[in-house]
Amino acid sequence: MITFDEEEEELDFTAQCQSTEVGDDLDDTVRLDPLSAPSPVPVFSRPPSVLRSPVHAIATPRPTLLFAIASDDVDEVRRVLESGEAGPNDDVGPQSALAFAVTANQLKHKQEIVRLLLAHGANTSVLNGLQSPSNSRSASPSESQPGGETPSAPKVMETLDPATRYFISRAEAPQTRRASSLIHRSFFRPLAKVRYDLVGQDRALEQLFRVLSMPTGAPIVVLLCGPSGHGKSLLARRFGSLLDVPTHTVNMTTLTSTHDIWRSYSMSPFEEPSTSTLGDFLTEHQGKRCVVVLDEIEKVENQKYLSSLLMPWELGRCSFGAGQRHVDVSKVIWLGTSNIGHDLVFEHQMQRVEPSAAMTREEYVDLMGLLRPQVSDRLGPSLLSRVTTVLPFVPFSDEEKMAIAAEALHSLTLTADESETPALPAATVEKLVKDSLRGYVPAEGARSLYRAVSNLLLDTIY
- How confident is the model over 385-405, as pLDDT tens digits? 999 999 999 999 999 999 999
Q: What is the arithmetic mean of pLDDT over 253-266? A: 90
Q: What is the arithmetic mean of pLDDT over 17-35? A: 42
Helix (H) or strand (E) holding 237: helix 232-243
Phi, psi of 222 (to 5 degrees): -125, 130
Cβ atoms within 10 A of the Cβ of 58, count? 4
- C-alpha closest to that of 254 among 222, 309, 302: 302
Q: What is the arithmetic mean of pLDDT over 117-133? A: 86
- How confident is the model over 144-173, as pLDDT tens digits? 455 555 455 568 888 899 999 999 999 988
Phi, psi of 75 (to 5 degrees): -65, -35
Q: How confident is the model at residue 214 (pLDDT cuts 50, 70, 90)?
A: confident
Q: What is the arithmetic mean of pLDDT over 67-88? A: 93
Question: What is the per-residue pLDDT for 53?
Answer: 52
Instruction: Select the more confidently predicted residue: 435 or 275.
Output: 435
Question: What is the per-residue pLDDT for 345?
Answer: 96
Q: How confident is the model at residue 379 (pLDDT cuts 50, 70, 90)?
A: very high
Question: What is the per-residue pLDDT for 414?
Answer: 82
Question: What is the per-residue pLDDT for 15?
Answer: 46
- How confident is the model over 315-332, as pLDDT tens digits? 999 888 766 789 999 999
Percent of the chain with pLDDT strictly greater than 70: 79
Q: What is the arithmetic mean of pLDDT over 167-190? A: 90
Residues 6+ apart with CB under 8 A from 107: 69, 72, 101, 113
Question: What is the per-residue pLDDT for 68?
Answer: 93
d(CA 26, CA 56): 12
Question: What is the per-residue pLDDT for 21?
Answer: 43
Q: What is the DSSP letter of 196?
A: G
Residue 324's alpha-carbon distances to 227, 285, 288, 312, in angstroms, are 40, 17, 20, 15
Instruction: Select the more confidently predicted residue: 409 or 41.
Output: 409
Residues 6+ apart with CB under 8 A from 342: 226, 227, 228, 443
Q: What is the arithmetic mean of pLDDT over 414-431? A: 72
247, 271 Cβ separation under 8 angstroms? yes
163, 410 Cβ separation under 8 angstroms? yes
Poorest-pLDDT segment among 275-279, 386-390, 419-423, 431-435: 419-423
- C-alpha closest to that of 208 among 244, 246, 238, 179: 179
- pLDDT of 110 > 90? The answer is yes
Strand, coil or helix: 391: strand
Question: What is the per-residue pLDDT for 323?
Answer: 67
Question: What is the per-residue pLDDT for 34?
Answer: 43
Phi, psi of 96 (to 5 degrees): -75, 165
Residue 230's alpha-carbon distances to 173, 193, 222, 442, 459, in angstroms, are 21, 18, 16, 9, 27
Phi, psi of 155 (to 5 degrees): -70, 150
352, 367 Cβ separation under 8 angstroms? no
Nearest 5°: the CA angle 445, 232, 370 is 85
d(CA 33, CA 58): 33
Percent of the chain with pLDDT strictly greater than 90: 57
Question: What is the per-residue pLDDT for 259?
Answer: 86
